[in-house]
Chains A and B, each alone.
Chain A
Amino acid sequence: MSVLVRNHVKVSGRPDGKPLMFAHGFGCDQNMWRLVAPAFEDAYKVVLFDYVGAGHSDLSAYDPERYSSLHGYAQDVLDICHELDLTEVSFVGHSVSSLVGVLAANAEPDRFADLVLVGPSPRYIDDEGYVGGFSAQDIEELLESLDSNYLGWSSQMAPVIMGNPERPELGEELANSFCRTDPDIAQRFARVTFLSDNRADLDQCRTRALVLQCADDVIAPEAVGRYVHTALPGSELVLMRATGHCPNLSAPEETIAAIKAFL
């Protein structure tokens, strides 16, 4: 299966433009960027995709072994770059994807020009001398919460949701049709996301980086954003007026402006 189908890759904008890749975080899919990405289509080759296991990716390609660490997700990013022969990539990663971008850039530093990290956190669980904002117990609670909320997922619906990206009306009949995926995969992605510790990978990163930090972000609090900024040599930090964890949805204009100013 082609990587482009596997990861439901969508390329738009200028074919000869510099590549700008948008990566979604835990919980949703490339739809997270739909208020932001179009603003870059006049100047860039815009690349959107779903990680394997999310959105309209090929669920049969989900290998629990490969995706048991963020390196497996970084390999998705690199696979897409190879397939499309992208160089000088500007990578915009939301939430956990920020760290996926760092891992990809560390693996192939020559391929990436810039990283935009939206609400990054290298480690969610508190550690000695480090405040991530969560305890291990909190993460167990999240996993329970996921369980309760995926009760409505049935295997009969999966082919309807996953198999017909070109027929959205099928999805509309289902409540909460966005951001749905197989509950088992959601659980595993949640574990990888919230139990990873990628602080050491920040030190190795030499790619130019922007940290976009929201106000009142319970997932990635400001202290964590500052930690990432300090750990990434030469990075810029922008404190946004937007609140919450998803400025790409709640404050697209401010997000677009910050990314444009940096690029």
Chain B
Amino acid sequence: MGLTSGFEELFEDAPCGFLVTDADGAIRLANRTFLAMTGHRAEDLVGRARVQDLLPVGDRIFYETHFAPLLALQSSAREIAVDFRRAAGDRLPVLLNAVMKGDPAGPREIWICVFAATDRRSYEQELLLARQRAEHSEKEARELAGILQASFIPPGLPRVDGLDLAGIYRPAGLGDEVGGDFYDMYETHDGWALVIGDVSGKGAEAAVVTSLARYTLRAAPAREPTPSAILASLHHAVVRERTDRFVTVAYAQVSLPPGGGCLLTLSLGGHPQPVHLTGAGASRVGRPGTLLGMLRRLNLSDVTVEVRPGESVVFFTDGVIEARRDSELFGEERMERALLEARDDSASDIAGRLLQEVSAYQSGVLSDDVAIVVLKVPDEARHREGAGP
């Protein structure tokens, strides 16, 4: 077997450009294909130019910082994308494969294959641009989600004399989707209202329902006499919206009798029962009621709970108890254990402790949004003892 034509012709007219250079890039040979590709003349290159000299500045830096070290370290480099400056002044995008030949101790030379890659490179440019656009959009969507989400959570809970209040919220995963959790606390004609809720699903449609829930709940106390009636009016508002989302809410009317402590009138619309932390332990308060916005028949009730000094009530969304590790749930037992250990701390420490446990259970990445609100009646007697000199 042999070639129809000679090896020299194979070198000169191969279907790719060939360059042979010294170890420092000085050109010793350039084949006819390379000359035709670039429009350079052999006499301008051989013995007069280095490969680097034919590259635009950015690629020249790349050559020195990447290509040359790669060749020195592994004696080969593949699929290096650079542009050659052509004699006419325009650029030819190419891919280079190269090997370093010769004994490391003696003189070495570099063999370079040059493949024109105009179409491929322009396609890659398009892909690159598309990727950059996608990254940009993703970042924007995440920012929007963050801003929208922040509007569901008050920047801070109000200061109410006789109460220690704290609320925290953490989004699921990377926080790039708007979740449905919300909470709020505001003054009403006869005291305060504390609400926490969760709209099913995520994204824009859930966000619309979350907004609806928040303003409906704010407006309703002026017309409706009881927490259960307020939740019923939210139910009807969600039904009128003709969405397939539903809402769970815990609504507490908070009053502060002159004798100290605090009374909560609590109604639950499909929402997990809050935890009442007392000296005796942890108990669940409120009577479970129906989801809002879904069922035709509503079953809601009002339960009054007395919170004495030193006691707290912890409201939370299902992201706490349904936090998932593999197929196992964080669950109510773990939650109550964490809360009992923290019950003598401040409201914000109790909330922080619970969030930390839930987060650690899932190795720091939450599978669902988590909102926690803690209402605590400070123990004045203990406070005075503690503060006295």
Contact = CB atoms under 8 A, between A and B. Distances in A.
A119 B72 CA distance: 18
By secondary structure, the B interface counts as helix
B24 A243 contact: yes
B9 to A, nearest CB: 29
B58 A245 contact: no
Interface residues of B, number: 32
Interface in B102-144: 121, 124-125, 127-128
B254 interface: no
B65 interface: yes
Contacts of B121: 148
B69 A28 contact: yes
A214 to B, nearest CB: 10
A32 B65 CA distance: 10
A28 B24 contact: no
B74 interface: yes
A219 B65 contact: yes
B124 A244 contact: no
Nearest to A253: B105
B60 interface: yes
Given A148-B81, A175-B78, A177-B74, A246 B68 contact: yes
Interface residues of A, number: 40
B23 interface: yes
Contacts of B23: 250
Contacts of A151: 81, 124, 127-128
A245 B72 contact: no
B65 A26 contact: yes
B348 interface: no
B53 to A, nearest CB: 9
Interface in B18-73: 23-25, 52, 56-62, 64-66, 68-70, 72-73
28 contacts: A25-B65, A27-B66, A28-B65, A31-B69, A134-B57, A134-B61, A135-B57, A138-B57, A138-B58, A138-B61, A141-B58, A142-B58, A142-B59, A142-B62, A146-B62, A148-B121, A175-B76, A175-B78, A176-B70, A176-B78, A176-B79, A218-B52, A219-B64, A219-B65, A245-B65, A246-B68, A249-B72, A250-B68
9 interchain residue pairs of minimum CB distance: A141-B58, A27-B65, A249-B72, A175-B78, A142-B58, A138-B57, A148-B81, A245-B64, A145-B62
Given A148-B121, A245-B65, 4 more contacts: A95-B65, A138-B61, A145-B81, A176-B70
